[in-house]
Amino acid sequence: MELKEYILPLRKWWWLIVASVFIATVSSYLATRQQSPIYQARTTIMIGSAIENPNPTGNDFWLTQQLANTYADIAKREPIKQATMAALGLNWLPEYTVRVVANTQLLEITVVDTSPPRAQAVAAELANQLIRQTPTNSDSETQQRQAFIKAQLDDLEVKIKETKAEIDKKQADLANLFSARQIADTQTQIAGLQTKLNTLQANYAALLSNTQQGSINTISVIEPAVLPTKPIGPNKLATILLAAAIGLVLAAGAAYLLEYLDDTLKNPDDVQKELSLTTLGAVPVMDGATAGDELPVLSGGHSAAVEAYRILRTNLQFAAVDRPLHTLLITSPAPTEGKSLTVANLGAAMAQAGKHVVLVDGDLHRPRLHRLFKLRNNTGLTTALLEARPSLDGLLQETTVPGLHVLTSGPLPPNAAELLGSARMKELLAEVQTQADLVVVDSPPSTALSDAAILSTQTDGVLLVLDSGHTRREVARRALDGLRQVNARVVGALLNRMPTRGAGYYYYYYYHYGHYYSDDGRDPARAREQNRDRSGRGKREKTSA
């Protein structure tokens, strides 16, 4: 599959893609306009005080990291939420997250809310409620105990300093003594002071372990929550662009899905791929002034539709090089696909080329040729078939096109298939061939009735008319199989009502043809030269004047 085959569905359904992107963009814009700004407040707390210790151990950091994970989980629990709401007088809490900074003893509490003061207050109170969960909770009894221990520590610090100073003094005096007895006494005093110092230091360490200083299971706020001033969201531009991208993707997916589900024949490539038939012509949709003109060939001129039937005429002549077509059956898989119009316009195009053409309306259920050419239909094909020896005397009616005659259907019989398959029908077609260069037979749709299959055995070839974008592949395949089962010679297909604009369609011929001929039938190059001549004459006249 070529790249252009992937692009064609997007070009065909461009309006759906544009509409989807537009609706998604506008809807997103209107939705984001209603959203309030979002603010973020954050507080950072530290577990333990190992970071303040000049000689921390790895075990200290490991324990504080484990405690940080535990407190992060506690902060998300219902007791903390209820305590925070009770402290702030709220009946709900804004969205918040608690996370441990990787490989640290730090805990971050982030609150997101539309109100900056409320976000700040909630972040601060969550940290406060976590502090209340620690063993160092600051109630009155604990505070008194901590004050007593602090006083004892202060006293021990003074005594330790005094003892150290006394030891230093004794050691300085020892250097100036000469008496052995005095030296021995001084050394004994120094040893006693050293023992006293060790005891004081041991008591100091024991008391210090009962304080918050140096404790592992403690929480302290190192970065309090501040009042946020700039919103962090919503990112309206990103939201709108994302909505537009989603609309684009969904519309593109819908385009490919619709194209996949569309099982109609739209262009010659589809006809060749599905039916293995050559497309001998493609008649465009007749719009504008020619929309009501069902027989454009009769009006003449240079239009895309007229040229399409002339191309069909030429291609039929090339298709019949080995086996000339004296009789041609034109049918379609289903009704309203344009077979009768094809019969009329092709017959007119053949007649304009100098051939004597007879059109036979073999559709004995819904005949239309007499209406297209505005002819009477009181007698016709059925009238001749009811005679013992079929004769064309007085039955062929002239048209406004020289060399083109029509044998209308005549009164409609109840047994159309029997009449068309009778020996009299063969005799009548043989007689018609003697009076024309080409006999074109119109028949009912091949999938609806057996008439087309019956007539195909009595003609030299069959042209299958397909309605572009409407004839379903399975219906066309079934029609073609029915014709081939009776060994009908299907010379090709005609795509009718081919769009002249749009991606993937067989419009390039008509586009170039429209540039080759101007709307009034003139060669545009010659028209441009005439315009330049008129413009030059006008300028010269002005100059001379």
d(CA 326, CA 117): 95
Co-location of 461 and 380 in the same domain: yes
Residue 361 phi, psi (nearest 5):
-85, 95
**Domain span at 244:** 3-35+234-260
For residue 513, pLDDT over 70 is answered with: no
For residue 542, pLDDT over 90 is answered with: no
- Given pLDDT bands bounded at 50, 70 and 90, which one contains residue 519? very low
Mean pLDDT across 41-66: 80
Residue 373 phi, psi (nearest 5):
-100, 5
In this predicted model, what pLDDT tens digit does every residue of 164-197 receive, in sequence order?
Answer: 888 888 888 777 777 778 888 888 888 888 888 8
For residue 426, pLDDT over 60 is answered with: yes
Co-location of 194 and 275 in the same domain: no
In a domain, 538, yes or no: no
In a domain, 516, yes or no: no
Co-location of 331 and 404 in the same domain: yes
Mean pLDDT across 395-409: 93
Give the chain's mean pLDDT. Answer: 83
d(CA 368, CA 361): 8
In this predicted model, what pLDDT tens digit does every residue of 89-121 receive, in sequence order?
Answer: 999 999 999 999 998 889 999 999 999 999 999
- Given pLDDT bands bounded at 50, 70 and 90, which one contains residue 146? low
> Please, how many CA atoms are within 13 Å of residue 119, restricted to the half-sphere of its CB?
25
In a domain, 533, yes or no: no
In a domain, 525, yes or no: no
**Helix (H) / strand (E) containing 188:** helix 180-208
Co-location of 8 and 48 in the same domain: no
Mean pLDDT across 315-334: 89
Co-location of 298 and 372 in the same domain: yes
Co-location of 416 and 283 in the same domain: yes
Co-location of 203 and 342 in the same domain: no
**Helix (H) / strand (E) containing 114:** none
Co-location of 182 and 309 in the same domain: no
Strands 438-442 and 327-331, bridge-based pairing: parallel
CATH of the domain at 49: 3.30.70
d(CA 418, CA 454): 9
In a domain, 320, yes or no: yes
CATH of the domain at 289: 3.40.50.300
In a domain, 518, yes or no: no
Co-location of 124 and 241 in the same domain: no
Which of 103, 132, 161 is where one domain is finished?
Answer: 132
Number of domains comprising the chain = 4
444 by Cβ neighbours in 10 Å (0-12 / 13-18 / 19+) ranks as buried
Co-location of 334 and 458 in the same domain: yes
Co-location of 415 and 459 in the same domain: yes
In this predicted model, what pLDDT tens digit does every residue of 254-296 receive, in sequence order?
Answer: 999 988 888 889 888 889 989 999 999 999 887 544 434 678 8
Lookup result for tokens 């599959």: 1
In a domain, 491, yes or no: yes
In this predicted model, what pLDDT tens digit does every residue of 343-361 receive, in sequence order?
Answer: 999 999 999 999 999 999 9
479 vs 168, higher pLDDT: 479
Give me 525's structure tokens. 């190059």
Q: What is the DSSP string of 80-100?
A: HHHHHHHHHT-SS--EEEEEE
For residue 249, pLDDT over 80 is answered with: yes
Mean pLDDT across 467-488: 93
In a domain, 430, yes or no: yes
Co-location of 246 and 195 in the same domain: no
